[in-house]
Amino acid sequence: MVTRVKTAREIDAMRQGGNMLMSVLELLKNKLQVGMTTKDLAITAKDELKALGAEPAFLGYQGFPDVICISVNNEVVHGIPSKSKVIGDGDIVGLDFGVLWKGMITDGAISVIAGKPKQKGHIQLIEDTKNALQAGIFVVKDQVRTGDIGFAIESYLKKRPYGIVKDLVGHGVGHYVHEDPNIPNFGRSNTGPWLQVGMTIAIEPMVTLGTDKVNIAKDGWTILTEDNSYSAHFEHTVLITKDGAEILTALSA
């Protein structure tokens, strides 16, 4: 379905759910240690969200088997938490989480480095992917077009020889995890569907240190870089306002 203009009640629910979502991701970021398994982090996410009173949006979605996607190094997104997946020193760990609260869904992601970075380029990748997300959010306003967002993200990332994953995109969100339209991380300005005040979308650049090509792992979920290059992923759910955007997946002051 196409993402709908949300009511004031629905927006408030997404604002509350988004705050819970980011509080869980911040907790995972602070607890992340070398030697942990990705399943350890998933259990923490599950327990914390339960304590907050909300439900995980990803568990069971199209058959996904856990509450959170955790992707490491060359895993771009959709990694399944595992007791056998041990986080090593310098690993780039992507944490992608969805929250269901009062019938409304928010979606957000961060990437963090465990322990000591293996190279400066990994730090730069993290920062540039985060900044590319902000560049996309910066152009959001009433009557923005999806191509405007993609163009802003791509323009920021072009300053370095990154791979911008094209097979995976952002999306509308709110009543469902994925709503139309798609929000690509590349494109031409003044193209694509129009967006308006009150709509909610998830913007999520996925960036690699190599190719933009990806493959699906044997588990049927995990998306891998074709050349095994490292990747990073950041995502916010945002509300389109008359003159800009409100980040709904943000910690309240």
Kindly report, residue by residue over 89-119, the tens digit of the pLDDT: 999 999 999 999 999 999 999 999 999 999 9
Instruction: Say what the pLDDT of residue 252 is.
Output: 66
DSSP states of the chain as a string? -BPPPPPHHHHHHHHHHHHHHHHHHHHHHHH--TT-BHHHHHHHHHHHHHHHT-EESSTTGGG--SSEEEEETTEEE-PPP-TT-BPPTT-EEEEEEEEEETTEEEEEEEEEE-SS-S-HHHHHHHHHHHHHHHHHHHT--TT-BHHHHHHHHHHHHTTTT-EE-SSS-EEE-SSSSSEEEEE-SS--TT-S-B--TT-EEEE--EEESS-S-EEE-TTSS-EEETT---EEE-BEEEEE-SSSEEESSS---
With respect to residue 226, please indicate whether it lies within any of the assigned structural domains. Answer: yes
Q: Indicate if the pLDDT at residue 253 is higher than 70.
A: no
End-to-end CA, the chain: 33
With respect to residue 253, please indicate whether it lies within any of the assigned structural domains. Answer: no
Question: Can you tell me the distance from the alpha carbon of 204 to that of 178, in angstroms, rounded to the nearest whole number?
Answer: 13
Kindly report, residue by residue over 149-177, the tens digit of the pLDDT: 999 999 999 989 999 999 999 999 999 99
With respect to residue 90, please indicate whether it lies within any of the assigned structural domains. Answer: yes
With respect to residue 126, please indicate whether it lies within any of the assigned structural domains. Answer: yes
* Structure token digits, residue 162: 């990154």
- Enter the pTM of the model: 0.97
Instruction: Say what the pLDDT of residue 251 is.
Output: 80
> Looking at residue 134, which CATH number applies to its domain?
3.90.230.10
With respect to residue 97, please indicate whether it lies within any of the assigned structural domains. Answer: yes
- Domain residues for the domain of 195 are 8-247
With respect to residue 100, please indicate whether it lies within any of the assigned structural domains. Answer: yes
With respect to residue 54, please indicate whether it lies within any of the assigned structural domains. Answer: yes
Instruction: Say what the pLDDT of residue 36 is.
Output: 98
Reported confidence tier of residue 1, pLDDT bands at 50, 70, 90: confident
Q: Indicate if the pLDDT at residue 203 is higher than 70.
A: yes
Domain count across the chain: 1
With respect to residue 202, please indicate whether it lies within any of the assigned structural domains. Answer: yes
Q: Indicate if the pLDDT at residue 128 is higher than 70.
A: yes
Question: Can you tell me the distance from the alpha carbon of 178 to that of 169, in angstroms, rounded to the nearest whole number?
Answer: 10
Is residue 81 reached through a cis peptide bond, with omega within 30 degrees of 0 on the bond before it?
no
Kindly report, residue by residue over 204-235, the tens digit of the pLDDT: 999 999 999 999 999 999 999 999 999 999 99
Looking at every residue in the chain, the average pLDDT score rounds to 97
Percentage with pLDDT > 70 across the chain: 99
Kindly report, residue by residue over 15-38, the tens digit of the pLDDT: 999 999 999 999 999 999 999 999
